[in-house]
Structure 1
Amino acid sequence: MDDSGLARTWTVAEAKARLSEILRLAEEQGPQRIGIRRPFVIVSERLWREKAPAREPLGRWLIENVPRGLNLEPPRERASRREIPFTSDDAG
């Protein structure tokens, strides 16, 4: 094991060829790292649920974190200089 606690780092090519083994090892031995330049870590769902912080529903978070005391009115746009079609009384 290296100092991060992960058993080894798999290359992407190895991971493609040996996905079933990597998933088995993630369940039996713990997290498996794939890639070096852009590393990813594969963990079992059980471990993920144990370690991941509890997430509150997005709607509740939005309500609890809505900005208060701010002027949230959008700025009014300047009058347009372009002609608006079909507004004149030229019904012809």
Structure 2
Amino acid sequence: MLPVAKDTSWTVAGAKARLSEVIERAQSSPQTITKNGKPSVVVVSAEEWQRKTARKGTLAQFLLESPLRGADLDLERQRDEPRDLPL
């Protein structure tokens, strides 16, 4: 579990009571909300979320750039019979 800085950590009750402040602070740094003393969720700005979730290329590019490309992997498929399912 990662340590959480005091000035960026909120209890659920504290976050509810001061939601506007949580949102305001999340514009500059992620805010962690704890539940039962353990980190539960992180609130980030919409800009940060977009940056973190933006696609960085296509699946084809990802596969072409893979360090496993050209590795001689033995990927044999199992030939098991299908299992019987009750009707």
Other structure's SS at 2:32 match: strand
- 2:19 aligned with 1:19, yes or no? yes
Contact 1:6–1:33 under 8 Å retained in 2: no
Q: TM-score, normalised by structure 2?
A: 0.51
Structure 1 residue runs of 5 or longer lacking an equivalent are 58-66, 78-92
Q: TM-score, normalised by structure 1?
A: 0.49
Contact 1:6–1:31 under 8 Å retained in 2: no
Structure 2 residue aligned with 1:74, among 53, 69, 82? 82
CA RMSD, aligned part only? 3.4
Q: Between the two proteins, what is the percent identity of the paired residues? A: 35
Contact 2:8–2:31 under 8 Å retained in 1: yes
Structure 2 residue runs of 5 or longer lacking an equivalent are 60-74
Q: Distance in 2 between matches of 1:6 and 1:48?
A: 22
Tell me how many residue pairs correspond in the alignment: 65
Which residue matches 1:33? 32
Q: Which amino acid aligns with 2:82?
A: P
What per-residue deviation string (whole Å, max 9, x for no partner) do you get for residues 2-50 of structure 1? x7667331121110111122112101x2101111623121111211222
Contact 1:9–1:34 under 8 Å retained in 2: yes
